[in-house]
Chain A
Amino acid sequence: MKNDGITVEKQSALSAPAPVLSTGNYACAEGALAAGCRFFGGYPITPSSEVAELMSRRLPLVDGTFVQMEDEIASIMACLGASFAGVKAMTATSGPGLSLMAESIGLAVMMEVPLVIVTVMRGGPSTGQPTNASQSDVYQVRYASHGDYELIVLAPGSVQEMYELTIRAFNLSESYRTPVIVAADGTLGQMMEPLCLKTAVEQVQRKGPQVSPQDYKPFQVLDEDLVPAMAVAGTDYDFYATGLTHDENGNPSMDPESAEKLITRLCAKIRRARIHINDWETYCLKDAKLVVLAYGTNARGVREAAEQMRAEGHKIGMVRLKSLWPFPDELMDQLGRRVQKVVVSEMNNGMLIREVERFRHRFRVAGITVPTPVPLRPRDIYQRLLEEI
């Protein structure tokens, strides 16, 4: 919800069962099950493994399938296969595993496969800090695969949000026939908080073919949303899905026109939907001259520091991004109309700040960006923010 002041979630505590104490990783698995996920292909990796562990326990109880594959490449490819069987599928990993999945993310984009990938960020590069948190993969989640494409990435900031944004990730992936990444961090995956499970969850289903098998073209766009209807295996529909550049019949095509048409549409279907995809939470923006922008668990310390400064009379506001990609340019435009300075805080050497810096013509940009394996402390952020006022 994009209103000023403290955001009140739509979900009402009255209708929900009593909260349970849950880790972010368990909440993620709960969210997936609530969203209708019935297939999980995974490979253990710290700090995300508990997602797989809970799925392995729960999926067989709901006629679902859990399979532990031989590596992360196989894990995500199994999810692609399951999705083409009409089953909602998810995998969960961390940076090193996502590196291996990069190739298949590109295939999922090209074949337009609904699929959810959870990455619980840890310190890198390479093996890095398996048991610590990080926000240093915010470019990896966006650009892991080669080629020109757009991707949806959500960034939960609490255990409750890990649950809700996982549900949202499934719905977005089904709506836009695209892989969606949930980018959490090691702290969020491992920490415990009260979690309110929903009694009723909205489940979006991909659109299926509206024409006969003879008339069906697997990549033909009939609707304004630029999303083709998706046939699945085991029905009367025959279709060809390829990682090669293809025309609307699925035929591989190497001519420049086909490539331009396909790539333009694949990017446009996400870009055009930005207004529906992008989500953020704001705090005290109305009269703010300085706004601090953060996401994930790091935003919690930032919020505390901002509240303290507000209490002391500083005209400070805050934005917490709940979706990272596509980057919310429209939010930057809004900020540009009223604030003088945006301070970006993140647990890396300065990554998302580069996106904000594209708007330097609208406001000044500063960073509190530290490649730390633990969220920044509120008092440290407070000290730094005082310098920026």
Chain B
Amino acid sequence: MPAQSTDAENHQTGHPLTGMLNMHRFVFCPGCLIGTVITSLAACLKAENLTARDYAIVSGIGCTGRSSGCFKAPAFHTTHGRAIPFATGLKLAKPRIKVFVLSGDGDISAIGGNHFIHAARRNIDISVICVNNSVYGMTGGQAAPTTQLGDITSTTPYGNMEPPFNLVGLAAASGATYVARWPGYDTLRLQKSMRKALNREGFSFIEIIVPCFTQYGRRNRKESAIEMMESLRAIVDLRVGCPPHEAALDLNKGRAVCGEFVETDRVGLIESLQKLRGRLKEGGSGKQ
């Protein structure tokens, strides 16, 4: 099976996830945590014994957009912002497989914002993993809807004047049935959260806060990627049972509330469609 690594492979390369990943498609900068997010997800898939026939990875454009190709699975590098509707069609047409959207903050909350809220509303059974680095990294460090107030980017040379989206609040208000936020370095909590998302039904949203030193840190008086991670760790406020409207994320004011904010059950579109087909097969009118 292509997605499972063999012991011989592991022995050769020394990495237990080699069989799940296309190492030659890792294009990320030193200090970037996208690679960590990818290996975390791969570790979850491996732990769940999922192979290429069991899942698919969909991404949009940008740094995180390049992540889908790293998986030895059906992997789709779609257009900017469109990963979620592509994943919706894929999941609706083949409900058996687990569908992951792995994309960036610009992809999911700017150009793809409309798709994001509607996927949450219809509670489509996919897991959206958003790597939030506060900036458009691949295109050269322009401002995103997640850029912190006052920060310098290549399109906010005088400081960002727009307040950022709180993606946890947005997802919760739109109807997501699982919403969590984690710092990118906290791989244990992240993996636990990913496994929860992939094993539950409904629209799951996991936001991962990562530093982008290359395009963001350098312009905002940070010394290194490590320093950015250290300063993130200093302000992370891990909470249990925190409601989504209290999930503050203000990196400059020193607040990054992390944890699980929504975990609820609500009938999703896949289940409703399956029930409808069943009712029609029994000769009913289809109406509930």
A residues contacting B by CB (< 8 A) are 38-39, 41, 60-61, 63, 65, 67, 69-71, 73-75, 77-87, 89, 103-104, 107, 111, 213-214, 231-244, 250-252
Contacts and interface: CB of A to CB of B under 8 A. Distances in A.
10 contacts: A67-B89, A67-B269, A70-B114, A78-B88, A82-B90, A83-B89, A236-B52, A238-B3, A241-B77, A243-B79
B77 to A, nearest CB: 4
Interface stretch (B39-47, B183-191, B206-214, B272-280): B272-280
A39 B89 CA distance: 8
Contacts of A250: 69
Contacts of B94: 85-87, 233-234
B266 interface: no
A231 B71 CA distance: 16
Nearest to B122: A67
Given A238-B2, A238-B52, A242-B77, A74 B93 contact: no
B114 A232 contact: no
A269 to B, nearest CB: 21
Interface residues of B, number: 47
Contacts of A77: 78-79, 82, 85-86, 88-89
Interface of B: 1-3, 22, 24-25, 51-54, 56, 58, 66, 68-69, 71-79, 82, 84-94, 96-97, 114-115, 118, 269, 273, 276-277, 280, 286
Contacts, number: 155
B118 A67 contact: no
Contacts of A70: 85, 114-115, 118
Given A74-B88, A87-B93, A213-B52, A242 B2 contact: no
B97 A233 contact: yes
Contacts of B74: 84, 231-234, 237-239
Q: Which of A60, A81, A85, A250 has the most CB of B within 10 A?
A: A81
B89 A41 contact: yes
A214 B88 contact: no
B157 to A, nearest CB: 29
A66 B2 CA distance: 33
B66 to A, nearest CB: 8
Contacts of A69: 85, 88, 118
A238 B1 CA distance: 10
A327 to B, nearest CB: 28
Listed from nearest, the 9 A-B pairs whose CB atoms lie closest are A81-B89, A78-B89, A81-B90, A85-B93, A74-B85, A82-B93, A242-B77, A77-B85, A85-B94
A85 B22 CA distance: 22
A65 B276 contact: no
Nearest to B277: A60
Q: Which of B1, B82, B115 has the most CB of A within 10 A?
A: B82
A107 B82 CA distance: 11
A22 B124 CA distance: 34
A79 B22 CA distance: 27
B89 A89 contact: yes
Contacts of B66: 252
A78 B94 CA distance: 12
Contacts of B118: 69-70, 74
A233 B52 CA distance: 8
Given A84-B74, A236-B2, A78 B92 contact: yes
A63 B79 CA distance: 29
Nearest to A71: B114
A71 B72 CA distance: 31
A214 B79 contact: no
B56 to A, nearest CB: 4
A70 B84 CA distance: 12
